[in-house]
C-alpha cells in the first residue's frame, strides 16, 4: 500500500491506494554507485525537503520501475524486480501543511485507521524506534501484519519540521517479511535529512516549439555557443547523465533536448523532443541541475545525443 504522493531522487547534487497523504511536490530521481562497492544511494528531494538514503547490502535502488504508480525510488533485492518481487521497499513523504495531517501522530493515526478498516489488518503493533544517521534522530515504527491480501508491512515515520518521511517494507508473506526486516532497519538507519529549502526545478515540456529550436540551433553554431558546449557542465557530465539513463536497454537513435539557461546557471525551462525512456529519465535531471553560467541569458542550449550500439 503506497502512502502517496511520492517524492524523489537525484544524483548526489541537490540536484496507490489510500491513505491519500498530500506530499510535497514530486520531483525526479536517479542514483549513483559508490566507487568502493555496488551500493546504490541517492537524494530524495521535493518541496520542503531533501534527504538521502542508501540501499541495504544486497538490494538495489530503482528510479524507473515505480514511476507509473507515482513512485520514483523503490528498492528490491538484487535479481528481483519491483513488479514481480515478493518483498520490496520504498519511501515518500506527507506534507504537514495539509489539513488533517499537521502532525506526525495524525499521520500515524490515519494509517492505523486505514489498515484496520480498509485493509482488515489482523495485527497492528508498535515496533522499537530505529536510530537514523541524522544526529541521533529516531524513526517511529509500526508493524502492519497480515492484511486481507496476506501482506506484511513495516513503516518507519520520521518527523521533520514541514513533512513526515515514510520508509516502507512490504512483503507478500510472513516469511519474506521476517527475513528482510534487517534490510528495512539498515535502510532506515541510512536516513540523513539535508535541508527543507529546495530549489524549485524548471518545468519540462515534451515538445520543442519551432522558435525555441531555431534559437538553440543558432546558439550552437555561434563561437560562444560552441565554447559553452564544452564547459556547460560543472564537473563530470556523467554525474548528471548517469548510467541509469544511458544503458544497453535504451532504444537506439537521437535524443534532442533544449535547455533554457539563466545567467546564474539554472535552467528555467526544459524542452524534450518527445516522451521516451531516455528523455523521461534525462529531462528531469537537467531541470534540477546547476550549470556553468552561460555567455548571455536566456541561453538556449541544444543537447543532442545519439544512442547507438
Domains of the chain by range and CATH? Answer: 8-195 (3.40.1000.10), 204-307 (3.30.1150)
Q: Which grid coordinates are listed for 288? A: 534540477
What distance in Å separates the CA atoms of residue 154 and residue 141, rounded to the nearest whole number? 7
Q: From residue 98, how far is each of 91, 193, 259, 308 by CA, in Å?
A: 19, 21, 34, 47
Amino acid 139: pLDDT: 98
Q: Which grid coordinates are listed for 202? A: 524548471
Amino acid 55: pLDDT: 93
Amino acid 32: pLDDT: 41
Amino acid 47: pLDDT: 78
What distance in Å separates the CA atoms of residue 154 and residue 140, rounded to the nearest whole number? 11
Amino acid 4: pLDDT: 36
- 52 neighbors 42 (Cβ within 8 angstroms): yes
Amino acid 198: pLDDT: 72
Element (H, E) at 167: strand 163-171
Residues 6+ apart with CB under 8 A from 129: 138, 139, 140, 141
23-48 pLDDT, tens digit each: 444 444 434 443 334 447 777 777 78
213-225 pLDDT, tens digit each: 999 999 999 999 9
Amino acid 132: pLDDT: 96
Closest among 24, 186, 162, 17 to 89, alpha carbons compared: 186
Amino acid 242: pLDDT: 62
Q: Which grid coordinates are listed for 242? A: 548517469
Question: Which ranges of the chain have pLDDT less than 50?
Answer: 1, 4-39
Amino acid at each position: 500500500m503506497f502512502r502517496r504522493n511520492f517524492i524523489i531522487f537525484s544524483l548526489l547534487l541537490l540536484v496507490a491506494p489510500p491513505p491519500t497523504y498530500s506530499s510535497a511536490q514530486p520531483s525526479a530521481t536517479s542514483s549513483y554507485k559508490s566507487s568502493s562497492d555496488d551500493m546504490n544511494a541517492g537524494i530524495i528531494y521535493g518541496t520542503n525537503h531533501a534527504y538521502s538514503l542508501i540501499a541495504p547490502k544486497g538490494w538495489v535502488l530503482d528510479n524507473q520501475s515505480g514511476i507509473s504508480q507515482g513512485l520514483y525510488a523503490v528498492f528490491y533485492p538484487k535479481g528481483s524486480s519491483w513488479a514481480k518481487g515478493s518483498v520490496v521497499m520504498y519511501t515518500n513523504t506527507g506534507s504537514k501543511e495539509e489539513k488533517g495531517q499537521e502532525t506526525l501522530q495524525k499521520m500515524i493515526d490515519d494509517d492505523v485507521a486505514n489498515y484496520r478498516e480498509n485493509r482488515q489488518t489482523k495485527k497492528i503493533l508498535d515496533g522499537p524506534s530505529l536510530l537514523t544517521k541524522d544526529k541521533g534522530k529516531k524513526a517511529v515504527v509500526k508493524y502492519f501484519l497480515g492484511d486481507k491480501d496476506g501482506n506484511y508491512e513495516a513503516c518507519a515515520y520520521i518527523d521533520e519540521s514541514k513533512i513526515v518521511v515514510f520508509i516502507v517494507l512490504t512483503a507478500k508473506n510472513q516469511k519474506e517479511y521476517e527475513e528482510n526486516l534487517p534490510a528495512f532497519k539498515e535502510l532506515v538507519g541510512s536516513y540523513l535529512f539535508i535541508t527543507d529549502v529546495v530549489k524549485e526545478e524548471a518545468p519540462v515540456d515534451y515538445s520543442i516549439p519551432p522558435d525555441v529550436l531555431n534559437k538553440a540551433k543558432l546558439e550552437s553554431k555561434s563561437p560562444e555557443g560552441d565554447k559553452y558546449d564544452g564547459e556547460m557542465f560543472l564537473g563530470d557530465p556523467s554525474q548528471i547523465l548517469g548510467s541509469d539513463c544511458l544503458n544497453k536497454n535504451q532504444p537506439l537513435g537521437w535524443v534532442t533536448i533544449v535547455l533554457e539557461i539563466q545567467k546564474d546557471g539554472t535552467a528555467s525551462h526544459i524542452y524534450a523532443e518527445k516522451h521516451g525512456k531516455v528523455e523521461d529519465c534525462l529531462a528531469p535531471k537537467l531541470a534540477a541541475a546547476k550549470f556553468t553560467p552561460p555567455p548571455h541569458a536566456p541561453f538556449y542550449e541544444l543537447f543532442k545525443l545519439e544512442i547507438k550500439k
